[in-house]
Chain A
Amino acid sequence: MIEIRFHGRGGQGTVVASKILADALAKEGNFVQAYPEFGVERRGAPVISFIRIDDQQIYDKSRIYAPDHVVVVDPTLVEAIDVTEGLKDGGWIIINSDKKPADFKFPAKFKVATINATEIAVRNKLGTLATPIVNTAITGAIVKILNLTKLETLLAAIGDAITVKPQDNQTAAREAYEKS
C-alpha cells in the first residue's frame, strides 16, 4: 500500500488533485481511497488531503499518520507547518516551487523534488496570476516521480474530471510530467 499526503491551501484544488490521481489509478485497476482532512475548508487556510493506493481492497478507514510521500502544493507551507510530520524514511517530498531541491533544508532521510507548477499553470492560463490553479500540473509531476500511472492514463482522468479548459490542464500535466 502507498499512502500520500497533500498539503495546500483552501481554493487551490488540493482535494481535486488527489481525486484526479485517484481516478487515474483506478483506471489502471488499482484500489484507491482519497479524502480531504475531515473538517471545514476555508479559502487560503492550510488544507490537507490524502490518498491510499493498493492492489487489493483497502479496509483501513482510519486517517493516515505515517505517509510514504508528501506533496506540497503551496510552497509557503514549508515555512508554516511541518510537512514532514510522520513521513516515512526514504519518502519523497514533492514541492511546487521555482527553487531547486537542494534549496530546501530537509533531513537527508527524505528525497526532495521540485516542480514549478505555478509557472506552468500561469503559462497555460489556468486560474489567474494571483491564484493559479496548479493541481493538474502537480499530478503530472507526482505520477512521474512516484511512477504511479502512465501519462496517458492521467491525461484521460483529467479529461474526464475537468470541464473548464480540459486541454490546457492536460498540457500542464504533460509539461510537468516531462520536466520531472
Chain B
Amino acid sequence: MKKVIMGNHALSYGAMLSRSQVIAAYPITPQTQVVELLSEMCADGTLNAKFIKVESEHSAMAACIGASAAGARAFTATSSQGLALMHEMLHWASGGRLPVVLGNINRAMAPGWTIWTDQNDSLSQRDTGWIQFYCASNQEVVDTVIQAFKVSEALAIPSMVVLDAFALSHTYEVVDIPDQAKVDAYLPPFNPPYRVTPDDPRAFGGLTGPEHYMELRFKLQKDMEKVLEMIERTGREYEKQFGRYLGLVDDYLCDDAEIILVTSGTAGYTAHVAVDEMRDHGLKVGNLRIKVFRPFPFEIVRRLTQSAKKIAVVDRNISYGHHGIFAQELKSAIYGHGDCKPVFGFIAGLGGRDITPASFREVVDFTISHDRPEEEIIWIGVKK
C-alpha cells in the first residue's frame, strides 16, 4: 500500500510493522512526531505495545533496556540533546547485548539552540557499540527499521536508525508500506536465549573483573564484525520479499569515476542529482553514499574507490580540532590499501544550512583544480 508520509512517521510505521512491544519516550522537544503517532497507534489498538511515558531520554533508554532484557522488542526515538542525555544508557544497551532499536532525527547540538539538521548528535555516539544506519528517503527509513530489528536481534547488538531533521523528518514522500504478513514472515517474534524472568533467575550486568571483562568486549567486536555480512544477507532476503535491496552503501556511477563523492544522509541523494549534471558535462564523477556507518563497511568502500583518482568526502558534521568524521573514516579505510590517493575533506550544511546540487559542483570544482587538499578542512557555504 502506497502512502504519502513524513520521515518521522516513517520511523513510526517501521516500529509498528516490526511489532514493537515496548515504546518508551520523553514527549517534549527535541522529541518529534515519531512517538506521537506511535502513542496513537498504542491507544487505538493498531499496535499492541506498552507505551511508557518517562521523565527523560536517559529513562527512555533505561526502560527500553529493561524491556529488552525481559525479552520484549523495544523501540524509542530521540534527537540531539536527547540522544546526548541517553549516552550512558547507550553503553548499557550494547554492553548488555540488548537489541533495542532507536530512531534518531539528526539535529544539531545546542547552543545556539537549534532544531535543524547535522550529524554531530549521532556521530558523538560512534563508540557506544551501536550499529548506525543513515537513511536518505522515507522508504529507506521504514525498511531500515524492520531490517535493524532483524540484524540487531540476530547478533544481540542495538541499532540506531538515523535521518536528517526536516530534510526527511518533516518531508512527505510516497512510501510503499510493507505488508504486515510479509513483515511477520521476515521478522519473527523476538526470542532471546536469556531473559529476565522469575521462572529462571539469572544475574545480568553484574560485577565483571579483569579476568572476564575483556572477553565480553572482544565478543562484542567479533559480533560487530559479523553485522556487515548480516546486513547484506538480510538485505537480500528483504529484496526477495519487498523488492528493495538494503545494503551497506548506495553507489552511483563509481565504477569508472575519477572523482568519487562520499556522502551520507539526504545530502547523499542530492549528490546523485549533481553527479547526473556533471556527467552531462563530461566529468567522470561518482557518488558513494554510506548507509551503514557502524560497523564501517571497509571492504566495499575500498573496492568501490579503488580506481578513483581522488576522493571528496562531504561531511555534515565535524570533530573539532580534526576533520569531518566520514573523512577520517575514509582515510582509515583506504590507508595501506593500494595507491595512496588524496582524500579531500569538505564540511557543509552544519545546523541545517542547505546542501544543494551547486554545493557538490563547488566540491568537485575544488577537487579537480587541486592536486592535494592543501587544507585539512575545506568549508562549503560558510560565511568567513
**A residues at B contact (CB < 8 Å):** 18-19, 22-23, 26, 31-36, 38, 40, 58-63, 65
Contact = CB atoms under 8 A, between A and B. Distances in A.
Contact of A35 (B2, B170, B356): B170
A34 B136 CA distance: 15
A61 B173 CA distance: 11
B356 A33 contact: no
Contact of A19 (B4, B357, B359): B4
Contacts of B136: 61
Contacts of B290: none
Contacts, number: 60
Nearest to B173: A33
Given A61-B270, A62-B355, A32 B170 contact: no
Given A19-B4, A32-B4, A62 B356 contact: yes
Nearest to B136: A61
Interface of B: 2, 4, 115-116, 136, 164-168, 170-174, 266-267, 269-270, 272-273, 352, 354-357, 359
A31 B355 CA distance: 21
9 contacts: A19-B172, A26-B4, A33-B172, A34-B171, A59-B272, A61-B164, A61-B267, A62-B354, A62-B359
Contacts of A33: 171-173
Given A32-B174, A33-B172, A61 B4 contact: no
Contacts of A59: 269-270, 272-273
A82 to B, nearest CB: 19
Contacts of B168: 61
A116 B166 CA distance: 32
A63 B115 contact: no
A31 B174 contact: yes
Nearest to A33: B173
Q: From B115, B166, B172, name the one whose CB has the most chain A CB atoms within 10 angstroms.
A: B172
Given A34-B4, A61-B136, A62-B357, A26 B269 contact: no
A61 B174 CA distance: 14
Contacts of A62: 270, 354-357, 359
